[in-house]
Amino acid sequence: MMLLLSLLAIWALVAVLIYRQVALAAASSIVIIAWLVLGAVTPVLLSPWLVAPLVLVLVVLNVGSVRRAILTKPVFSMLKKSMPPISATERDALEAGTTWWEKELFSGRPDWNEFAQISLPQLTAAEQSFIDNEVEELCSLLDEWKIQNDLKDLPAEAWQYLKDKNFFGLIIPKEYGGRDFSPYAQSRIMSKIASRSGTAAVTAMVPNSLGPGELLVKYGTEEQRQRWLPGLANGTEIPCFGLTGPEAGSDAGSIPDTGIVCKGMHEGKEVIGLKLTFSKRWITLAPVATVVGLAFKVYDPEGLLGDPSKKEYGITCALIPAKHPGVEIGKRHNPGSPFMNGPIFGTDVFIPVDWIIGGAAMAGKGWRMLIECLGAGRGVSLPALSTASGEMNYRMVGAYARIRRQFNTEVGKFEGVQEASADIAASGYALEAMRQFVTKGLETGAPAVMTAMAKYHATEMMRRSVEHSMDIVGGRAIQKGPRNFLVASYHSVPVAITVEGANILTRSLMIFGQGAMRCHPFLFEEMLTMQLENSAEGLKKFDKLFISHLGHICNNMLRTKLLGFLGGRFSSVPANADDFSKRWYQRINLLSAALASMSDIALGVLGGNLKRRELLSARLGDVHSQLFIASSILKFHSAHARTRAEDAHAEYALTRSLFIAQEALRDFSDNFPLKWLAKMVRFIAMPYGKIVSKPNDDLIRELGDLIMEENPVRQMLAQYLYVSHDPQDAFGRVESTYQLLLSLGSVWNTFLKAKNSGKITGATTEELAKDAVEKNIIQSHDVARLVEYDARRFDCLLTDHFDQL
């Protein structure tokens, strides 16, 4: 019995040392001392049969030469053989950008003290003024039905206003005439425009996302900045960027477009330049562009760039006037929304080498430039459009579900409808929370993993929200016309999920693929050691990383087991966590530890093959993403005074996120090749079967009711949108009718109850209302308001009809 207790004590000590991340040498010394002390009480511990294995383990772990020979060298050799070489392009993609809170979540041990120091972004006075004035004025110039169906373009006055008010120069520094707004301000501007016109939003967002402006600001020479940025800021230059083409869409790195370094004539002089041949498709703003950013691969067969041994430089970016000889801009594409989009062609187009963005020294560095700029833009533009859609769906569908009645009941009261409307409500809240958290992260740099999460999950939430909205509004939503407040959003969904990294690719390859490399504390550096030509040097570096990696794995396994047994309870939370948020933080701790453990198992068992097992890696990416979304919801919730309405929205959104994460882990373990191993980790993480359940019926009903009320969340979301009260406008018709209904208070329901029960009679609403007055059911001053509301209510239900289509 004493031997068993002593061994248990030593095992507990080892577990504590690993959990506390004590250094290996110090931990070994502590274990030896404990073993000797316990050996005095239990002499059998000093038996050679027990001491010998202990000494062997400690020697292997602590004596570098022995450890490398017995442990790390075989592992290093095996991994080096199975790991494909990393190309320069892949390395650029992996090293591009920065990391932020998503790295903490991937570690298995998020630092909530660091999280507590993060404050949500705020607008400057200039940014707020721009939104309140210039953006508001622009929105008043836009009618999306006319844009999409009559003009097939923005109205001329809107184009001119965009140029005059520097909408295309939001990211350009003030010294070049731009506005130099923050990522949050850019997002707020784009979402407000998108709440009025998706076409105008896309037009404004492209120059401020992946385009010449951002590339010049970050990488251009001063001469290039002086030449182009002032015109881009004031709208006299309209930019586009040619990246994708028939052979290169999501796999943009495979572009076949070429630039051959050669000598040629430019402005009457012979200069070193490039002869470009390219064919680009789906380029937004191309039909109206005055300057074209172009990505192509540079080849230098004659060594004119200064390095005779280097014939291929790789992807490069250049800036070319649209009217430059040989550049051909084709006819317009039709992406389903009439923003300007078209192809660009060119064969043997000669440009001087100093047209490369950043000059000749930046030849071959275009891929990293693009990855970093696309990463930043991906976190602003499409999430802003998605957030606007989610918030408009919240307002319009909630109002319509209150106005529309069937079976003598508001349609929003039916539980089948509430199942969808509650999800719309939670999505509107979660989208705003994620937008604010992500744009805060962008202030620290361009976290590529975070922005991939934002792009994919924001657009998918938009897709689900729009589909739910169509289900609830029904036939009123499918009939096209100027009255339809959903059709434009519905048609914008395919664009949002496809551009700036198709969603399937983003989920299945990018989020976990880049996430594991950039967020894991050791993996990327371990891989780099295998790429070194000097194997001895690689092994030496790998040895130090690998032993730390083993400690990381053991720590997370123990942490997962402990947190799983306790359901996350007693784990660390931010110092300012309240009674609402505390348990959510603790559940995130548990799922974070489980994610870290599962990820290391997947990487250890599958190695480089995990890249091709997309169904598995996508599920781990889903866990990582949902933990990030849950963090953003908690941060957003903590920024406001507590109300039951906001608690309900946050509770539903958090429950949904963590349930998705939990189920992704379960699906991962069910499909992992070594099922017993994955299910063992799942069991220690979820010994009681599950961590969180789906939103329950009571919460669904509560949100289903709240979305129809003028609740604090609905009021808060209104500040991010263009809210029309014009009864002749598609959105204003619903909003103004809804506000009229609210102003009636209980009068409308009292009137309907009397009408439906036969207490009052009359052929018209006015006659019925007057009869209700005579019977003391309503007051006389209510008659005109009832008649007005009933007429407006009926008008709100009508769809458009045309003489001919």
List, by residue number, the catalytic residues. 500
Q: Give the tokens for residue 105.
A: 């979540």
How long is the chain?
A: 805
What is the rounded CA–CA span in Å between residue 803 and residue 787? 30
CB 356 within 8 A of CB 297: no
Q: For the range 672-675, what are the long-range contacts, defined as Cβ-Cβ under 8 Å and sequence gap of 24 or more?
A: 672/601, 672/602, 672/605, 672/616, 673/605, 673/606, 674/601, 674/605
Output the CA angle 661-664-667, nearest 5 degrees: 155
CB 144 within 8 A of CB 199: yes
Q: What is the DSSP string of 523-586?
A: HHHHHHHHH-S-HHHHHHHHHHHHHHHHHHHHHHHHHHHHHHHHTTTT----TT--TTTHHHHH
Q: Where are the beta strands (DSSP E) in 209-305?
A: 239-242, 258-266, 269-284, 291-299
What is the rounded CA–CA span in Å between residue 111 and residue 463? 33
CB neighbour class for 267 (10 Å; exposed up to 12, middle 13-18, buried from 19)? exposed
Please tell me the number of Cα atoms within 13 Å of 798 on its side-chain side: 13
Torsion angle, CA of 424/428/431/432, rounded to 10 degrees?
-170
Query: Three-state SS string across 587-630, please?
Result: HHHHHHHHHHHHHHHHHHHHHHHHHCCHHHHHHHHHHHHHHHHH
CB neighbour class for 364 (10 Å; exposed up to 12, middle 13-18, buried from 19)? buried
